[in-house]
Structure 1
Amino acid sequence: MIRSRPWRALLAFGLPFLWLALVITWELTCPLATDDALAVRIPLCGAFLAAVVSLCATVRLGPLRELKQAREVARATQQALLRPLPARLEGLAVAAGQLSASPGATVGGDLYEAVSTVHGVRIVIGDVRGHGLPAIGAVAAVLGSFREAAHDECELGGVMRRLERALERHLRERSRAEHPAAGGADPENPLAEEFVTVLLIEISAAGELRAVNCGHPWPYRLHGSAVPLSVADPLPPLGPFPLPATIPLQNCGRLLPGEALVLHTDGAADARDSRGRFFPLEEVLATAALHTPVSPVEVIDRVHRSLLRHTGGRLSDDVALLVLRNDRSRVPVQPGAVQAVRARR
């Protein structure tokens, strides 16, 4: 909660009232107040009007200042949670963008991150059920765990298990805070309706794609067309059910040079127009894929514009997009190496 300093509030409200009291005292006690001359009446009316305007401005601008400060805090919170991604990451062109379903909101329940590790570039995208402060807490728990586990864990399954444990701790702490009658004991089913869909992607130096999916929409591969990266059934979202003893890893082929990968939350695919028709995300991405090379920034801009046009600017859920294009290329064989090979033959 943002609070103004007491002396500033006293000054802001006290000065207009003091000025108004002086004007009233003048009108009641000063002999000139009874003078009908315009040279006296005009300054008196001006002073009274200035006092009223100052008072109204103070009453109006005070909440506006606090609202501006609140938005600045929210913007700083968003940048701390969803840090701006680098434009390039280990030979990959990267872009990300969000649309909020709440007017003026800057932080929602969507999350994404991409980091370079010794295991390759690792990406997470997810969607927390709900909005507001509870969703922000879950986003912070999952992202904070991912930023450490992505570097520490050799396998994506290990990363996902770390995210599960972080979410479980967060839900237990929230449940204890919201149900103090339990005496600080762990509840039997802490916030059983809370869940997070999470997709983990790993892109190796050779462009090999591996994924672990817990209830999240599969991304699209763009290269002249838009094709889902996989059609395998994902695991359940994190929260309601524990992860299996063995977490299945999906091998999704290679991301070739020039190809792009589009990760998204379900707010894009589930958006509807006034007639109840779903947003044609795959068609929009297929159109974007016709322009080569695919620009990650332009893909996000095209989807956002098409989505707002489809829904009439009334989104029912937050939308997050993350696009990566493989700009890596094979190192050309040096002429000397070719001659050496021929000499051996």
Structure 2
Amino acid sequence: MSNVETKPEEVVCGPRGLPGPDCAQEGRAPVEILTARDVPLGGPRAMTVRRTLPQRQRSLIGPWCFVDHYGPDDVSTSGGMDVAPHPHTGLQTVSWLFEGTVEHIDSGGNAGMVLPGEVNLMTSGRGICHSEVSTEDTTALHGVQLWVVLPDSVRHKDARDFEHFAPEVTSFDGGEMLVFLGELWGTRSPVATYSPLMGAEVRLRPGATLDLPVNESFEHGVLVDSGDITVEDVPLPTNALGYTGVGLSEMRISNRAEADARIVIIGGEPFDEEILMWWNFIGRTHEEIARYREEWQAEGERFGAVDGYVGKGGPGRNAEGMSRLPAPRLPDVRIKARRNPPPHVQS
């Protein structure tokens, strides 16, 4: 998925290593709440996504740098997803659906359907472009789109990789989970990543409480899709992302609702490289970002081309008549660094 904001904010992230506040819940860890903001994904009939990462409060959770949550949308009225070919550098895109089907095509020659319960991971390396369009038979669209930062050691690779994997359901007392990346509670995904991390969908029955063993070297984020959820006894609003810093070995999650609940958990070791993120590019300097933008606008070879994109406006065009998304204008001043907070909960 693309960041289609016309004035995207620059984000520079790096560790600072300061301690967080004391815990307010006796015997439980503190939780920082990141609220979502609505972002339209496309033109006037665009679907709206709820973005919790990045934001000024926090830019990274481990190597996770982007969290969009959308739906359930009735795409017969919203028009559905129609993201024309757009570029990426220095990251992996992680697509995870609850409902609906999205067609993915990229410039690495990969094409396929993103299906519920099946993770699709695209690695950009030095440059890739792709399109994402919900299929005509999709009546409801619901899921998350996530990005992972690539370390400097692999971000310049030429390969444009694409993997998909349907994890088996792991049941526990009070619910079940699907681990789509990394490892959680003894369940491991075979999908290749380049930093220590994890990602999973967890479903909780009404009234269930889960004391979930987690990696204490990871910081974690819990995204609430549905249910009346508490994390470490702290209530989390629907669509919000609850953050816990490093040092937690067991996370208590409860569903106080009288219906089933669903959450998505992400986590990873604090990312120890300073990065700069602007629009769909991740680099290390202002000059890199400016060069990526120039090459995308010039249709340079770094990104390649998407062959076979059919948008809502017909073959090769989205609903707004564009065959590819143009890059926004760079700021008139040099992009400045914004530091990520330390891997501890902020007051």
> Which has the greater radius of gyration?
1
TM-score between the two structures when normalised by the length of structure 2 = 0.25
Q: Under a length normalisation based on structure 1, what TM-score does the superposition of the two structures give? A: 0.25
Higher helix share: 1
